Amino acid sequence: MAHGFRILIVEDELLMGLQFKHQLESAGFETIGPVSSVAGALAVIEQEDVSAALLDYKLHKENSLPIAGELSRRGLPFAFVSGNMRHQPAEFAGVSLLRKPVPSGALLESLRRLMANDEPGLQLQAG
């Protein structure tokens, strides 16, 4: 089901990022990361074949909106994963927001909806 899909994980809490990585890889996804900064994520997007991304909103002293903008520009789907995001910016209103702590299975279900094109405006592309 997930074969060929490469998911970028952008998360500044290493243990949380590794947990997401384990969950995704156990479900058959290929993962990139976790990456903990805007610059690092933008470099990965430029250099790697990314199918979709999970973005922690708050990354140390910056936020992931520049990453979201670049993913949108490239037509790549993503979901926010955050405990700090109070309001989604209007330009990302249709993007899924998973609240931390993410309930077991919710992460995979969100990606499955992306793969099935059940998320408005978002489509997952195989790498």
Q: What is the DSSP letter of 91?
A: G
* Separation CA 55–CA 78 (nearest Å): 7
CA distances from 2 to 32, 68, 90, 105 (A): 14, 22, 30, 15
pLDDT at residue 117 is higher than 70: no
What six digits make up the tokens of 65?
């909106």
Instruction: Note the pLDDT tens digit of each residue in 45-84.
Output: 999 999 999 999 999 999 999 999 999 999 899 999 988 7
- For the whole model, what pTM was predicted? 0.87
Closest CA to 30 of 52, 13, 14: 52
pLDDT of residue 125: 41
CA distances from 116 to 13, 33, 52, 90 (A): 29, 24, 13, 24
pLDDT of residue 116: 65
Top-confidence range, 2-16, 17-31, 109-123: 17-31
* Separation CA 89–CA 31 (nearest Å): 27
Annotated domain spans of the chain: 6-87+94-115
Q: For residue 118, what pLDDT band results from cuts at 50, 70 and 90?
A: very low
* Separation CA 60–CA 81 (nearest Å): 14
CA distances from 61 to 36, 57, 64, 66, 70 (A): 11, 11, 10, 13, 19
Domain 6-87+94-115 grouped into CATH 1.10.357.140: no
